[in-house]
Amino acid sequence: MIKKQPYMNVGAACLFVIFGLLFFVLLFRYFSIEISGEAAGQPLAAKAMKKYTRTGTLEATRGIIYDRNGEVVAEDTASYSLLAILSKKMTTDPKHPMHVTDPQKTAMELAKYINMDETEIYRRLNQPNMFQVEFGRAGKDISIETKRKIEDLKLPGITFIPQMKRFYPNGIFASHLVGYTDPVEQKDKSYKMVGQMGIEKTLNNYLTGTNGKLNYESDLWGYILPDKKENISPAKDGDDVYLTIDQKIQTFLEDAMNNVAKKYKPKKIIAIVADPKTGDILAMGQRPSFDPKTKEGITDGWHNEAIETSYEPGSTMKIFTLAAAVNEGVFNPNEKYKSGSYQVSPRSPAIHDHNYSGWGTISYLEGLQRSSNVAFAKIADEKLGFEKFREYLSKFGFDRPTGIDLPNEAAGRIQFNYPIEKVTTAFGQGTAVTPIELIQAATAIANDGKMMKPHVVDKIVNHDTGKVIKQTETEVAGTPITAQTAKTVRDYLETVVTSKNGTGHRYKIDGYSVAGKTGTANIPNPNGGGYLTGQQNYIFSFLGMAPKNDPKLIVYVAVQQPQIDNYELGSRPVSEIFNPVMKNSLQYLNIRPSKLEKSTSVKIGDFSGASVTETVKDLKSQGFNPIVLGKGPDVTMQLPKAGTTILEGEKVLLGTSGDLIAPDMTGWSLRDVMQLAEIADLKFNVAGSGYVVKQNLTPGSPLKSGENLIVQLQSPEQQSKNIGNTGQEKNSDQTPSD
């Protein structure tokens, strides 16, 4: 028998030595890692931190855009996208399914809340091979209210993805001025809202905030570990922008343009309202326009026509030819000239008045009133001289951009090479200017010679601190004429509206003196070869200011190719924008009609807590018109407020305890109705201009906070016309053509 025991002992010893060495290696490795904190040259603590540390993004909010009075024009708001999970793999507990289990029921319920047909919703939900589906545009921009209603249905598999969107509460509202935003993909594959037009584009760097970060330690599933500190880098919201736009005046303008667009179906409308003392743009709009939220209508017009487009201004340019002549002392309103035609040089074609044959020998003032091209050709050629006339075109800023704080501003193009171009420029043909250049130049006429640079941004404010970062200062762009010249020109321009020969008699406004000039501009043929022909193929316009002695507003309106039956009626659609916008805006700004300017003004007292009976008696004794809006015994509120200076005969609204009661507003002015809306906290809408003829709230009914107050206004002239209206407008109401 062979003994193998010694070999077995040797093998066992070898294994013991090998495992012993491995143990010491592991032990050495353990202590070396413990002491150094590294493995393979890599810091293990950092590796662990990286594995269990999560980073979240704290999204910044884009800055808010306000009007001049702090009313929101654009802001970020939460919205949701609707999502349906179809995959059964998402469900781990059959009692609590996480996928759509009943497509038919789900489709029927969702159809009540989104703008999609039930059959289309069902088709999308009935795709078993899909993991999830969305619902296109109908499933986007879901409001928080709609989201909650859908969640209350407890439909399995229906979920929402939160997102921020840009909200424009007024819809179509100075859309080309304000602009819009679109999501733009960034380098890190995230998306950021970027301004694409108007203020949203120009001030994108101010409006765009900086996202913050949240670093925290979590478990394998991403939940924050208890007692672990969060490292937060807060988001910095975008700066807020305050515009010079006034929401009320802009609304007046939008409503008037809507009415004219619907009635006359023009190719374009351009309108601007400005404060001539400061250069503030109070309203700016155009048709066609678009809804900045949905982008509906944007393909009909990408450009801000008031800023980016130049065109022949027509006879509104005569304002500035006249101003130059008056300033140089070469305009004699009583001097006679032969109207009809004028030839500036033997080689130049003759220019004609708009009625071709003229009106015989008339004064230059009548030439202004009748908008005679010959009168202004002679003024530029024989009175001013072309060299001096060209200097004034530059003084009024027609050969350079105004520098308004909006993108892509165009400059005027002055055609001044040949004699015929020089005389046609004098009456607004050949040379092209932008509407904003006309507004800037007109401020010199309205502001006693000082031409104010236009602007739409009032200030930029830090969203978090309220500190003003940038304040726009009023800027004088030039002084092309003297104060006396400006006053004299306004006097002459008033006769364009008041004279029986004037082309502007449609622009009379009850209680206010208007100075201005009509314009009828040719439209170049896009195919070449002169101008378009036909009764409708013109740009009809009016550039006016009021009150004439101390203008508070300038309004420019241009309507291109309205559907009218007669060339002479071209001023009708223009006046249906200019008149209500000018009058409503003046009343809103509390600019008194001239017939009230000489009335006695008194500071109103404080009647809070006083007896209604005694207050009414007291106010009547002072010549005021008290309107009691409730049935309580004591006064609880009043408008105008205590200490306000008001005029004899003005209404004083008195609120009492209990429900406020709707009064009969027939005959009320816009200002009175606006005070009622303020004291009763009503949402106010107006149609027309003048005084109230209709109201939606029944007199004597309770006024509820937040309800709509809608009134229709008409001028006394229109009311008189309606009494005996036969359905046909008399020929005598037709405006002379310019």
Which residues form the catalytic set?
A: 315
The answer for residues whose C-beta is within 8 angstroms of residue 431's C-beta and 6 or more apart is: 312, 313, 317, 398, 412, 413, 414, 415, 416, 421, 424, 425
**Structural contact between residues 238 and 195, judged by C-beta atoms closer than 8 angstroms:** no
The helix (run of H) or strand (run of E) holding residue 286 is strand 281-287
In 3D space, the residue among 429, 447, 176, 416 whose CA is nearest the CA of residue 315 turns out to be 429
CA distance 145 to 265: 38
Q: Determine what percent of the chain falls in helix, strand and coil, rounding each to the nearest 5.
A: 35, 25, 40
Alpha helices by DSSP H, 622-725: 670-680, 716-723
Listed in order, strand segments (DSSP E) in 514-595 are 515-522, 538-546, 553-560
Q: Which two tokens stand for residue 454?
A: 């236009």
**Structural contact between residues 609 and 635, judged by C-beta atoms closer than 8 angstroms:** yes
Alpha helices by DSSP H, 197-304: 198-202, 204-207, 247-264
Look at phi and psi of residue 683 and say left if phi exceeds 0, alpha if psi is from -120 to 50, else beta: beta
Beta-carbon neighbour count of residue 520 at 10 Å? 22
The answer for residues whose C-beta is within 8 angstroms of residue 164's C-beta and 6 or more apart is: 59, 61, 62, 76, 77, 78, 79, 193
The helix (run of H) or strand (run of E) holding residue 446 is helix 435-446
- Degrees (nearest 5) of the Cα angle 491, 494, 495? 100
Q: What are the backbone dihedrals phi and psi of residue 165, each rounded to the nearest 5 degrees, phi first?
A: -135, 160
**Structural contact between residues 512 and 586, judged by C-beta atoms closer than 8 angstroms:** yes
Q: Which two tokens stand for residue 296?
A: 């509906």
Q: Which two tokens stand for residue 3?
A: 């003994």
Radius of gyration of the chain measured on its C-alpha atoms: 36
**Structural contact between residues 688 and 713, judged by C-beta atoms closer than 8 angstroms:** yes
Strand, coil or helix: what is 118? helix
> What is the CA 371 to chain-centroid distance, rounded?
34
Q: What is the DSSP letter of 505?
A: G
Q: Residue holding tokens 């469900």?
A: 91
CA distance 129 to 271: 55
Q: Which two tokens stand for residue 211?
A: 């996202």
**Structural contact between residues 65 and 178, judged by C-beta atoms closer than 8 angstroms:** yes
